[in-house]
Structure 1
Amino acid sequence: MVPIDASLFTAFCLATAVLIMIPGPIVTLVVANSISRGTRFGVASVAGASLGSGLLIIVGAFGMTSLLAILADWFDILRWAGAAYLVYLGIRQWRATPVALANLEPDSGPLKGVFLHGFVVAITNPKTIFFYAAFFPQFIDPTRALAPQLALMSAAFLIIAVSIDGAYAVLAGRLRFIFVSQSRARLRNRLVGGLLIATGIGLAAARRT
């Protein structure tokens, strides 16, 4: 048997891409460093943050394996809660005050320090593990082995995160005007927020079929 459902995995990858586009602490740091100090400093931030995120994903995957094994009878409730959380994130993003990322404060240290700061920002965000616990179960097929699904999803999540954060670093270094305009920031907030709301509602609707 294939270790993961292809349609669920595709939906997971698309939803992951949308979520990672949200300018959180990592994207903020990456953009600020790329704009003010050059693309390689933004890439250093991406590398450090990716290492931190990778460690959290491993911890989260092990935790979910144990949690879902214990709460097997509550699996559907967990997935409903996760869908509601995605809608909440979408509403919050839609209503968020637009911030021109180019105006944010960059790191002032050497390249090694920028890498370390990216790692610290990723590893010390307490919302991250909660997010993984709410998001990943939405795309798990309970009829298949759990560990292979989590392994593939974790790898895909990290690859997508590195790709999108890296794209932010390159674009911020070369196309600064994209990140200066507050009107563009508002449009980005509305677009990402709308996609998150649609994803959460779509997942909730799928539970009823």
Structure 2
Amino acid sequence: MIDTSVLAAFVPAALALNVAPGPDSIYTLKRSISDGQTAGVMAAAGTSTGCLVHTTAAVLGLSALLKASALAFTVVKFAGAAYLVYLGVTTLRNREEFEIAPDEENQSHTESFRRAFTINVLNPKVAVFFLAFLPQFVDSGGSFGLQIFTLGVLFGCLGFCYQATLAVFSSRARRVITERKAVRDLLRYASASVLVGFGVKLLLEKRVAH
């Protein structure tokens, strides 16, 4: 069972990272603008389902190693911390504006789901992010696999709620996120700060001895 204090730290961080514009949210907005809000919600569902794939991979790849090996914990800790800080710095430096013009190609709702799922699953940055982000909220005295899976599912659910909201209010979201520089900069600074801050937190985390 995950402690409520861990959830209190995880949920705001997960929400902040989900709000950061990226390929998944951009695709959801394009589908909702082109084919309606239902298509956008289906795309959001596809992205969240893809998160389950990354979560399962994280469970299979990390749970046994982290529980059995202090060295593995240390390696994952430093690698994860370095990667999160790197993501934060590159996010801060990236001033590229996202183009969310409607697509001329109409897609079925099933196709919107499938493409969003594929975009998420085949993005190596998402896979590495899950490996770097989730373990820092795990209590080494508990079940690694269960905790990582629960946090991954929660991350995916929060992402779905956010992206589904974008789909429903796509016109307003597109204007606010893409046409107002101050809002884009605020999102960029906030996302970068969260990534760097949690990278440092992970770096300072100590393994609890059994």
TM-score range with shorter-chain normalisation?
A: 0.7 to 0.9
Name the counterpart of 1:180: 178
**2:108 is aligned with 1:110:** yes
* Alignment match, 2:198: 199
Shift of residue 104, structure 1, vs aligned partner: 6.7
Equivalent residue, structure 2, for 1:53: 51
Whole-Å separation in 2 of the counterparts to 1:158 and 1:171: 20
Give structure 1 stretches of 5+ with no counterpart: none
Moved more, 11-20 or 176-185: 176-185
Query: Quick one: structure 1 residues 55 and 106, their matched pair in 2 at CA, closer, same or farther if it must change by over 3 Å?
Result: farther
CA distance in 1, matches of 2:142, 2:109: 44
Spell out the pairing of 1:86-105 with structure 2 (5 A cutoff): 86-103=84-101, 105=103
The answer for the alignment partner of 1:155 in structure 2 is 153
Q: Does 1:74 align with 2:85?
A: no
Distance in 2 (CA, whole Å) between partners of 1:106 and 1:196 is 35
> Residue deviations 1:63-111, cap 9 Å, x none?
2223324533331342233222222111111111231443375753222
Q: In structure 1, what is the equivalent of residue 10 of structure 2?
A: 12
Q: Distance in 2 between matches of 1:174 and 1:39?
A: 12
Cα drift, residue 43 of structure 1? 0.8
The 1:205/1:59 distance shift into structure 2, 3 A limit, reads: closer
In structure 2, distance between residues paired with 1:139 and 1:101: 34
Where in structure 2 are there 5+ consecutive unaligned residues? Answer: none
1:197 and 1:105, CA in 2 relative to 1: closer, same or farther beyond 3 A? farther
User: What is the match of residue 142 of structure 1?
Assistant: 140
Conservation of the 8 A alpha-carbon contact between 1:33 and 1:107: no
Distance 2:26 2:19 in 1: 11
Counterpart CA distance in 1 for 2:153 and 2:174 is 31
CA RMSD of aligned residues (A): 2.5
SS, match of residue 128 in structure 1: helix
Find the residue that maps to 2:148 and give its secondary structure: helix
For this pair of structures, how many residues does the alignment match? 206
Tell me whether 190-199 or 109-118 shows the greater mean CA deviation.
Answer: 190-199
Q: Which whole-Å CA distance do the structure 2 matches of 1:131 and 1:175 have between them?
A: 25
Give the letter aligned to residue 192 of structure 2.
G
Deviations 1:135-154 (A, max 9, x none): 11111111222233223212
Q: Indicate whether 1:119 and 2:117 are aligned.
A: yes
> Which amino acid is 1:72 matched to?
A
Residue range with higher mean Cα deviation, 98-107 or 156-165: 98-107
C-alpha distance in 2 between matches for 1:93 and 1:10: 24
Deviation at 1:199, TM superposition (A): 2.8
User: Paired residue for 1:170, among 168, 171, 195?
Assistant: 168
